[in-house]
Amino acid sequence: MAVEALGSTSRTTKVAFWNDPTVRGWVFQIVIVGLVGGLAYYLVSNTVENLARQKIASGFHYLGREAGFEIGDSMIAYSPASTYARAMFVGLLNTIKVAGIGIVLATILGTLLGVGRLSPNWLLSKICEYYVETFRNVPLLLWLFLIYKMISEAFPGPRQAINVLNSFFLSNRGLYFPVPLAHPIHEWMGVGLIVAIVATWFMARWAKKRQEATGQPFHTIYAGLALMIGIPALVWIAGGAPTGTSWPELKGFNFVGGTVIQPEFTALLVGLVLYTSAFVAEIVRSGILALNKGQSEAAAALGLSRGQTMRLVLLPQAMRLIIPPMTSQYLNITKNSSLAIAIGYPDLVASVNVTINQTGQAIENVLIIMAAYLTVSLSISAFMNFYNKRIALMER
């Protein structure tokens, strides 16, 4: 009876509301939200008040005004008479160009280095190890300064430029080479290339289903290359096969005509690739080492060579371990490209920095930079997450 009375008493005991975990949780959240909101209001109100005191108009109205400054490297038509919005777009395209090429090259070089560190060849393994430890333990900015200085000092001036076939000129101003003159058919050739890429994707899916059903492989790579070269070539021929070319010529103190790969772009790209590939190499190496040794032994028992074992057995299985950390390195390449301003390459940060100096709209311009990098980074993450799901092992 005593036990029953004690049990009934404990069941009827009420917990004070300040000791209720649910109530306390709601109170803490409301307090935190209130503090954050108050801080945000304080910062915004002070900012607006200071801008008004300094007679600086807020907003993005300035984007339609004339920029008035040059951009040395542009993928689209640009002149000082273009708007600030176009100048920022040119910088964004330069950032995407550097990041895109850097991701591809860093992946290739990093994979080779990661595999090389696992090589039974002592010399090759040590070379790859010293490379990785050297590049990943020195700040990227120092590598950019060193590479840019080496490029500037290693090559002669434009008047003494290295001449190859009277068409390619290499100097400390960059590599000049001929390019086709602008023609409307080139846009249609780009459309043809996109069509060829889409057709190659569908062909790869068909080839995979065909191999699963019949066991017969299909050379998708060769067929895809044929499509991506053949379709634009047919479009070019159908458009009259224009052959007009702009050739670089030395006039005054520099070359005119053709196009140029600037030393700033080269230094930035090389620095990003060499630095990031060291981290990619460790990701690849750790992904392979995480696999069961029985995989390698089984491949050897089947008579596969070391190259075939790595390409057909180990790397495909290691991909599900490699992809997630590799995403972080791709994002790092994109964000680290903002160091271009240190060596004078006109990326997004450089274009916006000039805009800030000319307009005084610092807050708006910084928000534009943040939004641009956030958009690009989220796009890369979304693609990598999609690819990671495609290669994930499914339990059946």
Give pLDDT, residue 344.
Answer: 86
Q: What is the DSSP letter of 339?
A: G
Kindly report, residue by residue over 16-28, the tens digit of the pLDDT.
Answer: 666 777 777 788 8
Residue 1 predicted with pLDDT over 50 = no
CA distances from 208 to 204, 215, 358, 373 (A): 6, 9, 56, 36
Q: Are residues 124 and 159 in the same domain?
A: yes
**What's the domain range around 218?**
182-243
Q: Are residues 167 and 200 in the same domain?
A: no
End-to-end CA distance of the chain: 57
Average pLDDT of 59-76? 83
Give pLDDT, residue 270.
Answer: 92
Contacting residues for 325 by C-beta, under 8 A, at least 6 apart: 283
Q: How many CB atoms lie within 10 A of CB 393?
A: 7
Q: Are residues 168 and 314 in the same domain?
A: yes
Q: How many CB atoms lie within 10 A of CB 99?
A: 24
Kindly report, residue by residue over 311-365, the tens digit of the pLDDT.
Answer: 777 788 888 888 888 999 999 999 999 998 888 888 889 898 988 888 878 888 8
Give pLDDT, residue 279.
Answer: 94
Residue 8 predicted with pLDDT over 70 = no
Q: Are residues 117 and 195 in the same domain?
A: no
The token duo for 109 is: 């070089």
- State the residue for tokens 């940060």: 349
Q: Which amino acid belongs to residue 147?
A: I
Q: Are residues 360 and 380 in the same domain?
A: yes
Q: Are residues 70 and 169 in the same domain?
A: yes
- Give residue 262's region: left, alpha or beta (phi > 0; psi -120 to 50): beta
Asked whether residue 162 is assigned to any structural domain, the reply reads: yes
Contacting residues for 238 by C-beta, under 8 A, at least 6 apart: none
Q: Are residues 195 and 338 in the same domain?
A: no
Q: What is the DSSP letter of 240?
A: T
pTM over 0.85: no
Give pLDDT, residue 6.
Answer: 46
CB 349 within 8 A of CB 91: yes
Kindly report, residue by residue over 175-228, the tens digit of the pLDDT.
Answer: 888 888 888 888 888 888 999 999 998 988 888 888 888 877 788 888 889 888
Lowest mean pLDDT among 4-13, 89-98, 157-166: 4-13
- The closest of 261, 237, 91 to 168, measured between CA atoms, is 261
Q: Are residues 166 and 238 in the same domain?
A: no
The 3-state DSSP class for residue 159 equals helix
Percent of the chain residues topping a pLDDT of 90: 26
Residue 5 predicted with pLDDT over 60 = no
